[in-house]
Amino acid sequence: MTPFSFYTYSGSISKPPCNEKTIRYVASEPIGVSSTVIELFREALRIPDLQDDSSGIIIQSGDSILVSNREPQKLFGRPVFHYNHRKYACPTFNKRLRFSEDEVKVKGHYERKESTATNYFFVEGTEPSGLPGAFVVTEKEALGKFK
């Protein structure tokens, strides 16, 4: 992730028991993310399925997403701090697009998840990601090289 500026303040979680010992971070400017990252966040925040111990039946929660149970609260004198990554010359790191002969390329595979639009994403390692509805496809299919 590239460096970014943000606000931070002491707050609370927005669902019971609403503990006060929480530090909030809010980006100063919108941060662009890919559809894959959004899908992974949706899956991470989805209410998990349950299994009935007596019958073994899986009770699916559907696509329900955890929501806030609380309206925004006043600051009540709490300080809000701002970190400016440009002012403090935070370094930017570039991704390596090519591997030298001395480096080993990470083993992995591509997966496809069916939705209104088909998204392909690279998964490091040999094990499937476990993302619901995704399955392993060939590199040719993922990169659109059908010839």
CB 134 within 8 A of CB 111: yes
Residue-level pLDDT at 138: 83
- Euclidean distance between CA atoms 110 and 123, whole angstroms: 6
* Cis peptide bond upstream of 3, omega within 30: no
Q: Would you say 31 and 38 are in contact if contact means Cβ atoms under 8 Å apart? A: no
Question: With 0-12 CB in 10 A as exposed, 13-18 as middle and 19+ as buried, what is 111?
Answer: buried
Q: What is the pLDDT of residues 48-67, one digit of tens each?
A: 777 666 777 777 666 666 66
Tens-place pLDDT, residues 69-123:
677 778 888 899 999 888 877 776 666 555 555 555 566 777 777 666 667 777 7
What does the domain layout of the chain look like in residue ranges? 1-47+77-93, 103-147
d(CA 143, CA 120): 8
pLDDT at 8 over 70: yes
